[in-house]
Amino acid sequence: MNNITESLKEAKAIVSLTYNKSHFIKFSEYISKNYSMECSVLLGIIIDIENLYLDKYQKFLSKTNGYYLIKSNYIEERVGMSYHRQKQAFDILKENNIINTKKWQGNVILYSLNHVVLSKILINGSIEEIKNREANKTYKHNNLMIDEMEEILSEIEKINV
């Protein structure tokens, strides 16, 4: 097997493991919060398209070094996102190295996901969620401590009266 085929298998494994439904919800929330809702929606579509290519069009991926075609009319039909909003989201994703692009056969633009960056985003999102959860626990814990202290203070005041 050549390196491209092996890379495609690795990409498929990453897609299926990393972007399963439970992880994707957290990932999608992180992308929406830190980039835009359009970026999150677009990434969901790109992941679906990548899965489709990995399952059915491996010859095409071999010819393009893992890049695939995404048509704006497909995205517009699927989620109602205008070409202008798609372009804005693609530009943000490209600027942040979340997707890679290259020209193919003239003016056709091909895309691929940057799985390294996506994995880092997923991990950082999980770390952020854990920190928020810990902060909330600490906050709740502090509130309980304050409540307990106020209760003790109230009991002490009753004794002194």
pLDDT value at residue 130: 57
Supply the pLDDT for residue 103.
86
pLDDT in tens, 65-97: 889 888 888 889 988 999 999 999 999 999 988
20 secondary structure, DSSP code: S
| Mean pLDDT score across all residues of the chain | 75
Task: Report how far Cα 13 is from the mean position of its chain's Cα atoms.
Answer: 16
pLDDT of residue 95: 92
Residue type, 6: E
The four Cα atoms 62, 63, 67, 69 give a dihedral, to 10 degrees, of -120
CATH number at residue 72: 1.10.10.10
Q: Is 147 part of a structural domain of the chain?
A: no
Task: Give the pLDDT confidence of 41-73 residue by residue, as tens digits.
Answer: 898 888 888 888 888 888 888 888 889 888 888
Which pLDDT band, with edges at 50, 70 and 90, does 153 fall under? low
Q: Please state the domain count of the chain.
A: 1
